[in-house]
């Protein structure tokens, strides 16, 4: 597993397969928490954290428990269960030992426990990188993809919070005020991201 391949996975996850803007997962926090830059940043950091953590746990579960028993079809329910329990656990540990981090992430952690983007990353990792024979290589790739997806979410959130700050001060026609103009600008941002398609293949290919 070369560093170059890991880098390619991360960049692909950030720009080309961006979870919010290309795969349309995690739209709820994308529209709900992107009004202010600070909360968008806090939410995104929590998402990176949870995506990594969820992959750390769900990938071995799929590899060692579900696949061994022929239970691959149970992944959705098992993953949701495990991720929800894990985030609760992490929250308790943070509250006790790192109150500062808990204060800054605290509100956002429970919000994203069973978010579709988090589940989507776990399932995509399992679908794309799992290899029945070996464990290590696929695990590293999955972690890289989870990190990249989180960073992609962060980028989409920060870009969009900037756009929304501008929209707030604009005189939109009454029919477009509020959510409609927000959705339209999200669509334009998403179209802009199609421009990245093919870039990674040409750099690393």
Partner 1 sequence: MSPIITAVVVVAGIGVVCAVLLSVASKLMAVQVDERIPKVRECLPGANCGGCGYPGCDGYAAAIVEDESTPINLCAPGGPATAEAIGQVLGREVGAIVKQSAFVHCRGDCGVTGRKDDFQGEKTCAAAKLLFSGDKKCAYGCLGYGDCERACPEDAIHVVDTLARVDPDRCIACGICVRTCPQHIISIRAESTPVVVKCSNHYKGKNVVTEKCTAGCFGCSVCSIKCPEKAITMVDDLPVIDPEKCVGCQTCVKVCPAKCILPRKPLA
Binding site for partner 1 (CB under 8 A): 61, 65-66, 69-71, 74, 77-78, 81-82, 85-86, 88-89, 92-93, 95-97, 166, 168-171
Residue 18 class from Cβ within 10 Å (0-12 exposed, 13-18 middle, 19+ buried)? buried
* Beta carbon of residue 42, minimum distance to partner 1 (angstroms, whole number): 13
* Beta carbon of residue 88, minimum distance to partner 1 (angstroms, whole number): 6
Between residues 92 and 188, which has the closer beta carbon with respect to partner 1?
Answer: 92
Element (H, E) at 142: helix 136-168
* Beta carbon of residue 84, minimum distance to partner 1 (angstroms, whole number): 8
Task: Give Cβ neighbours of residue 153 (< 8 Å, ≥ 6 apart).
Answer: 18, 19, 20, 26, 30, 44, 47, 48, 51, 117
* Beta carbon of residue 166, minimum distance to partner 1 (angstroms, whole number): 8
Between residues 34 and 58, which has the closer beta carbon with respect to partner 1?
Answer: 58
Between residues 136 and 169, which has the closer beta carbon with respect to partner 1?
Answer: 169
* Beta carbon of residue 78, minimum distance to partner 1 (angstroms, whole number): 6
CA distances to 129, 138, 168 from 65, in Å: 16, 16, 50
* Beta carbon of residue 172, minimum distance to partner 1 (angstroms, whole number): 9
Residue that is written with structure tokens 């989180």 in the block = 150
Between residues 9 and 83, which has the closer beta carbon with respect to partner 1?
Answer: 83
Between residues 93 and 203, which has the closer beta carbon with respect to partner 1?
Answer: 93
How many other CB atoms are there within 10 angstroms of residue 130's CB atom?
18
Task: Give the total residue count for the chain.
Answer: 205
Residue that is written with structure tokens 């030992």 in the block = 97
Q: What is the dihedral of CA 61, 62, 66, 70, to 10 degrees?
A: -160
Q: What is the dihedral of CA 64, 119, 141, 66, to 10 degrees?
A: 10
Between residues 75 and 141, which has the closer beta carbon with respect to partner 1?
Answer: 75
């Amino acid at each position: 597993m070369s560093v170059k391949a890991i880098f390619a996975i991360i960049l692909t996850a950030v720009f080309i397969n961006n979870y919010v803007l290309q795969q349309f997962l995690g739209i709820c926090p994308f529209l709900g928490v992107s009004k202010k830059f600070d909360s968008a940043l806090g939410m995104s950091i929590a998402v990176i954290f949870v995506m990594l953590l969820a992959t750390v746990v769900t990938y071995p579960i799929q590899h060692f428990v579900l696949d061994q028993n022929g239970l691959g079809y149970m992944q959705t329910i098992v993953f949701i269960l495990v991720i929800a329990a894990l985030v609760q656990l992490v929250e308790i540990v943070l509250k006790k030992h790192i109150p500062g981090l808990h204060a800054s992430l605290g509100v956002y952690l429970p919000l994203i426990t069973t978010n579709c983007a988090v589940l989507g990353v776990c399932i995509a990792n399992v679908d794309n990188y799992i290899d029945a024979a070996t464990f290590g290589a696929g695990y590293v790739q999955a972690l890289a993809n989870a990190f990249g997806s989180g960073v992609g979410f962060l980028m989409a959130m920060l870009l969009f919070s900037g756009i929304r700050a501008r929209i707030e001060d604009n005189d939109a026609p009454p029919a477009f005020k509020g959510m409609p103009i927000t959705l339209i600008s999200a669509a334009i941002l998403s179209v802009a991201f199609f421009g990245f398609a093919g870039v990674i293949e040409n750099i690393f290919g």
